[in-house]
Amino acid sequence: MTESVNILVTGPDLDQEASALIEKAGIHKIHTPPYPSDDVLIDHLTRYRPQGVISRMGKIGAHIMDAAPDLKVISKHGAGVDNIDVDAASKRGIAVVRAPGANALSVAEHTIALLLATVKQIVPLDRGLRDGRWEKAGFLGVEIAGKTLGLVGFGAIARHTARLASGLGLNVIAYDPMADEALFNTENIKRVATVEELLAISDIVSLHCPLLPATRHLINAQSLQSMNPQSYLINTARGGLIDEAALLPALQSGHIAGAGLDTFEQEPPAQNNPLMNERTVVVTPHVGGVTAGAGRRVGVLAVEGIIKLLDGEEIAQERIVNPEIFTTGKARLSKTALNA
């Protein structure tokens, strides 16, 4: 690159290999504090006028973009872009790119870890023993082999999860209206026609779909009631898929036996979030994809997405969330750089 270029990373860190790519390209990298507020983001965008943003933490809405007249590319550090106002970016000619599949295995492993911890009651048993209680008398655990695991969504993370779960003896089914039938055949996974059918026959439900207007509160009071009594809910996708206010009474009544949650409607969740005090709930701070291996793959893809687009190089079209800005000529980038 011949011109001076700044990239803003919304978060305090980035994988060393990804950072090295930025340095090699002669680009100046700036970090925000973790989970930056709108004011912090606007301040950084105004001061440093970046051409690219790597979106890790915090939300990037229209008013944030208006503080960045030089911004050409927002590159998501991951696959889900619900924290980015894609419509606003498109209207302003800002390309939004993502790194699909790069952290899929790590998130799938975390899904299985939450599943086991939740169903096997590892956390409350550990806490009880540390508090001096020997709770063997009266305890009756659950054997997962032979149980049915229902996957809502059948993308890369869900497919990795299916392979790991099958190895544990779980019967895996999945619902995804957008997935090709060949994927189910290749993975030897039974496809169900509706979410309602999946909820009704699953002993454990695991969410792996994007957060869209149509999927917000997909798990609500009605859908929770349609789940099997004493079934379990796992979420390593997006917090907004679950109506937390409806989940709480379902857990307290015992209809839902437990939940493993890596994501929440508000992140970080409020300190007084009642789910934090539920014995049957296992919680982690949205770290399913935060591993060294995943961080390297995601970070490199996120950085490459910005560098290639700013240089006018080709990038796989599946990585571009709003390719229409190129075909309509709205893109702030000088070259199309699409690779079908």
Cis peptide before 268 (omega within 30 of 0): yes
- Percent of the chain having pLDDT more than 70? 97
Q: Is-catalytic flag, 238? A: yes
**Residues 54/306, Cβ–Cβ less than 8 Å:** yes
Q: What was the pLDDT predicted at 94? A: 95
Residue 170 shares a structural domain with residue 152: yes
Is the pLDDT score of 65 beyond 70?
A: yes
pLDDT tens, position by position, 6-43: 999 999 999 999 999 999 999 999 999 999 999 999 99
Q: Which two tokens stand for residue 127?
A: 């806490």
pLDDT tens, position by position, 85-143: 999 999 999 999 999 888 999 999 999 999 999 999 999 999 999 999 999 999 999 99
Is the pLDDT score of 336 beyond 80?
A: no
Number of domains in the chain: 2
Beta-bridge partner residues of 339: 316
pLDDT tens, position by position, 219-232: 999 999 999 999 99
Indicate which residue of 238, 265, 297, 304 is catalytic.
Answer: 238
Residue 302 shares a structural domain with residue 319: yes
Query: How many Å apart are CA 193 and CA 208, to the nearest integer?
Result: 16
Indicate which residue of 159, 286, 297, 319 is catalytic.
Answer: 286
Is the pLDDT score of 337 beyond 80?
A: no
Residue 231 shares a structural domain with residue 127: yes
Q: How confident is the model at residue 46 (pLDDT cuts 50, 70, 90)?
A: very high
- Percent of the chain having pLDDT more than 90? 87
Q: Which two tokens stand for residue 146?
A: 């032979």
Instruction: Work out the average pLDDT over 313-328.
Output: 88
Residue 44 shares a structural domain with residue 111: no
Indicate which residue of 31, 191, 255, 267 is catalytic.
Answer: 267
For 4, list phi and psi in degrees, rounded to 5.
-70, 130
Q: How confident is the model at residue 156 (pLDDT cuts 50, 70, 90)?
A: very high
Instruction: Work out the average pLDDT over 214-223.
Output: 97
Residue 126 shares a structural domain with residue 189: yes
**Residues 309/97, Cβ–Cβ less than 8 Å:** yes
pLDDT, greater one: 82 or 236:
236
Q: What was the pLDDT predicted at 101? A: 86
Q: Is-catalytic flag, 267? A: yes
Residue-range definition of the domain harbouring residue 63: 6-98+291-328
Query: How many Å apart are CA 209 and CA 195, to the nearest integer?
Result: 12
Task: Give domain status of residue 338, yes or no.
Answer: no
pLDDT tens, position by position, 271-305: 899 999 999 999 999 999 989 999 899 999 999 99
Is the pLDDT score of 2 beyond 50?
A: no
Residue 108 shares a structural domain with residue 226: yes
CATH number for the domain spanning 10: value is 3.40.50.720
Read off the pTM.
0.83
Residue 91 shares a structural domain with residue 118: no
Maximal C-alpha separation, the chain: 72
Query: How many Å apart are CA 219 and CA 76, to the nearest integer?
Result: 26
Helix axes of 292-311 and 104-119: crossing angle, nearest 10 degrees? 150
Task: Give domain status of residue 197, yes or no.
Answer: yes
Residue 271 shares a structural domain with residue 152: yes
Q: What was the pLDDT predicted at 4? A: 83
